[in-house]
């Protein structure tokens, strides 16, 4: 079986960065020539800007009606209707793609909700008229809704994307000699420092770090994050032979960041920032030749660090936000729109979408409340990966929250789009990426290209950090680590169909079974698709593989039809 190594990922990301310079010049969707790109912002926009005065707004607000019908919705949306569901207590509105059943279709009692995987959008469920999971389900009579959770915002700023890629690849290194100006011919000149500006910038950075992350990171992790900034600064000054005072001041600032904020702490941080700038200036003047652009480089380092903090703040949500806010809001909206007689929905989740459904059923069982789900289908999903060889183990280096500073978001869509030419054209140096998505010959090349280039979005580090707990003993847990979602599936009272693909590298059958075995036998049906001689099913093939319509869809429809019946008055 194919094994993925960290070196392969490093090579892939490096190649993606190399390709990004030309990819980044592609015009946005709908403009000019070249490849047309999907812009997620057309489908989900916050009602209000998120930020403080120094932060770029997440996106521009729009006054979209709750429902946008055909002719008014964006071209990329192939659904019959596009709805926007507000998330109570937040500024978010979720995009819901609705597919109405044709008049001749069988009459059904429950609407069908579709949830997609992490960092993906609705396109994966509706690639083309002939390969549309959503359209097929609606043709069988189900009022079908694809839910886009809050991932799908404006594209990450290209400059920020490059910053994230550099962090992912570890490409930062010593400053090229060409950037260090030799000023021997100006020995009588004195480089003037703008101390107030540098002190203000440093103080603002440290205070923001202390204020924003005191509840997000524990003390040791907060110290690690601040140490990264000091390390970045010290690298600029490797040749200046700074005294131990620099390290002493840096240590004092780190300690203060872990202290509860008050006016005294703020004053101390400002004083230490002044002393830090003084030490750096002294070191700058003590060497010959002087580093002519050191002040600009130091200021740029601080600005770069601030951008990383901004990305973390902008993408400030995790798996539990999806579970506790987005999915309930979407379900309530769908119930109100469809008016099902018993108020229940049928639901299908692919990858993280299925994980959300498992987690929801576990919480409902623990709290002894009804989930309002008539039946659930999970595709390539598990909440316990501890015994599997899933390629998602590559995310484990991010399991330390301090890594959120280096990788605040993963621009999955940009990375895959940049890497795609290297996986689909000779010499196919990244062809192994294709196997992560689809088995050989299971998707038409044009549909596979559309999936890779249009279906993936930016993933917040906090989502990834929480999902990596699925690889630890006890499986996936809530953000505080106090609730293990697998612990209460033994009390599940909703029928579940769990499907796996035989060559799925992301969620192998053994991972799916780790969750299946927890559910009461009378409530679960488990099936692995794929045969020794083919066809084989990888992670996405259960949804969009060429054989899915003949092999997978009928299995799903049989299950949904069985559990679409309305309960008798005394059975619920």
Q: What is the mean pLDDT of the chain?
A: 73
Concatenate the DSSP letters of all residues of 477-495 into one string: B-TTS--BGGGGGGG--S-
423 vs 143, more confident: 143
pLDDT at 41: 32
Instruction: Provide the pLDDT for residue 475.
Output: 95
What secondary structure letter does DSSP report for 374?
E
Instruction: Specify the DSSP element, H or E, that contains 497.
Output: strand 496-501
Question: What CA dihedral angle connects 34, 40, 42 and 43, to 10 degrees?
Answer: 150
CB atoms within 10 A of CB 355: 28
**CA pair distance 382, 471, nearest whole angstrom:** 11
Q: Write down the pLDDT at residue 309.
A: 63
pLDDT of residue 261: 52
Q: Per-residue pLDDT tens for 538-566?
A: 999 999 999 999 999 999 999 999 999 98
pLDDT classification of 251: cutoffs 50, 70, 90: low
Mean pLDDT calculated for residue range 478-484: 94
- Distance CA(376)–CA(489), nearest Å, equals 13
Quote the tokens at residue 262.
Answer: 């008050």
Span 281-295, pLDDT tens digits: 655 555 444 444 556
Task: Catalogue all structural domains in the chain, each as residue range(s) with its CATH number.
Answer: 65-152+311-567 (3.40.50.1820)
Closest CA to 323 of 492, 509, 452, 483: 483
More confident residue, 567 or 381: 381
pLDDT at 60 over 50: no
Q: Are 119 and 458 in contact (CB under 8 A)?
A: yes
pLDDT at 345: 97
| SS3 (DSSP) at 96 | strand
- CA-based nearest residue to 57, from 70, 65, 46, 67: 46
Q: CB neighbours (10 Å) of residue 275?
A: 17
Average pLDDT rounded to a whole number, residues 445-455: 91
Torsion region of 211: left, alpha or beta (phi above 0 gives left; psi -120 to 50 gives alpha): alpha
Instruction: Identify which has the larger pLDDT, 561 or 272.
Output: 561
Query: Does pLDDT of 522 surpass 70?
Result: yes
Are 401 and 480 within 8 A, CB to CB? no
**Region of poorest pLDDT, from 222-236, 422-436, 501-515:** 222-236
pLDDT score of 237: 52
Percent of the chain with pLDDT over 90: 43
What is the pLDDT confidence band of residue 5, given thresholds at 50, 70 and 90?
Answer: very low
What pLDDT is attached to residue 150?
85
What CA–CA distances, in Å, run from 270 to 44, 200, 233, 264? 40, 8, 17, 10
pLDDT at 234: 63
pLDDT band with cut points at 50, 70 and 90 for residue 54:
very low
Question: Measured between alpha carbons, how far apart are the two ends of the chain, in Å?
Answer: 47
Confidence of residue 417 (pLDDT cuts 50, 70, 90): confident
Among 20-29, 77-86, 405-414, 524-533, the least confident range:
20-29
pLDDT at 19 > cutoff 50:
no
Quick one: average pLDDT of 209-227? 53
How does residue 415 score in pLDDT terms, banded at 50, 70 and 90? Answer: confident
> What is the rounded CA–CA span in Å between residue 135 and residue 138?
5
Q: Kindly give, in sequence order, each residue whose CB lies less than 8 Å from that of residue 480, ignoring residues fewer than 6 positions away.
A: none
Collect all residues with Cβ–Cβ distance below 8 Å to 196 and sequence separation of at least 6.
none
* pTM of the shown model: 0.71
């Amino acid at each position: 079986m194919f094994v993925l190594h960290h070196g392969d990922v490093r090579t892939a990301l490096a190649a993606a960065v190399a390709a990004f310079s030309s990819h980044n010049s592609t015009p946005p969707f709908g403009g000019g020539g070249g490849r047309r790109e999907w812009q997620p912002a057309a489908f989900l926009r916050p009602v209000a800007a998120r930020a403080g005065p120094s932060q770029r707004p997440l996106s521009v607000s729009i006054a979209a009606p709750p429902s946008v019908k055909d002719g008014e919705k964006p071209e990329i949306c192939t659904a019959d209707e596009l709805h926007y569901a507000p998330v109570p207590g937040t500024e978010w509105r979720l995009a819901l793609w609705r597919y109405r059943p044709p008049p001749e279709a069988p009459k059904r009692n429950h609407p069908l909700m579709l949830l997609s995987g992490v960092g993906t959008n609705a396109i994966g469920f509706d690639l083309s008229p002939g390969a549309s999971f959503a359209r097929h389900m609606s043709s069988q009579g189900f009022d079908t809704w694809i839910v886009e959770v809050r991932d799908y915002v404006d594209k990450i700023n290209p400059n920020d994307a490059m910053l994230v890629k550099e962090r992912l690849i570890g490409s930062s290194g010593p400053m090229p000699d060409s950037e260090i100006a030799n000023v021997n011919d100006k020995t009588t000149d004195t480089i003037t420092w703008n101390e107030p500006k540098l002190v203000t910038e440093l103080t603002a950075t440290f205070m923001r770090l202390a204020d924003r992350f005191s509840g997000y990171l524990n003390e040791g992790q907060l110290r690690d994050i601040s140490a990264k900034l000091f390390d970045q600064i010290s690298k600029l000054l490797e040749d200046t032979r700074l005294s131990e005072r620099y390290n002493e001041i840096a240590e004092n600032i780190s300690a203060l960041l872990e202290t509860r904020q008050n006016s005294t702490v703020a004053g101390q941080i400002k004083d230490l920032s002044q002393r830090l700038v003084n030490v750096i200036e002294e070191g700058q003047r003590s060497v010959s030749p002087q580093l002519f652009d050191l002040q600009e480089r130091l200021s740029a380092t601080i600005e770069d660090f601030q951008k990383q903090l901004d990305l973390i703040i902008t993408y400030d949500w995790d798996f539990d936000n999806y579970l506790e806010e987005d999915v309930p809001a979407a379900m309530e909206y769908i119930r109100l729109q469809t008016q099902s007689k018993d108020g229940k929905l049928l639901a299908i989740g692919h990858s993280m979408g299925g994980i959300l459904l498992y987690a929801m059923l576990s919480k409902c069982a623990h709290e002894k409340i009804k989930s309002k789900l008539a039946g659930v289908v999970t595709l390539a999903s598990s909440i316990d990966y501890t015994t599997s060889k899933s390629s998602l183990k590559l995310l484990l280096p991010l399991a330390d929250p301090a890594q959120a500073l280096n990788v605040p978001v993963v621009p999955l869509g940009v990375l895959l789009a940049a890497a795609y030419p290297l996986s689909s054209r000779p010499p196919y140096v990244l062809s192994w990426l294709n196997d992560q998505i689809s088995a050989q010959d299971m998707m038409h090349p044009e549909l596979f290209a559309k999936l890779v280039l249009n279906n993936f979005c930016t993933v917040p580090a906090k989502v990834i950090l929480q999902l990596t707990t699925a690889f630890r003993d006890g499986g996936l847990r809530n953000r505080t680590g106090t609730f293990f979602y697998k612990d209460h599936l033994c009390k599940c009272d909703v029928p579940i169909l769990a499907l796996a693909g035989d060559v799925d590298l992301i969620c192998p059958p053994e991972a799916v079974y780790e969750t299946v075995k927890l559910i009461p036998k009378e409530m679960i049906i488990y099936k692995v698709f794929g045969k020794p001689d083919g066809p084989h099913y990888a992670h996405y093939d259960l949804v969009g593989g060429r054989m899915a319509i003949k092999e997978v869809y009928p299995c799903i429809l049989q299950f949904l039809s069985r559990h679409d019946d309305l309960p008798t008055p005394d059975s619920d």
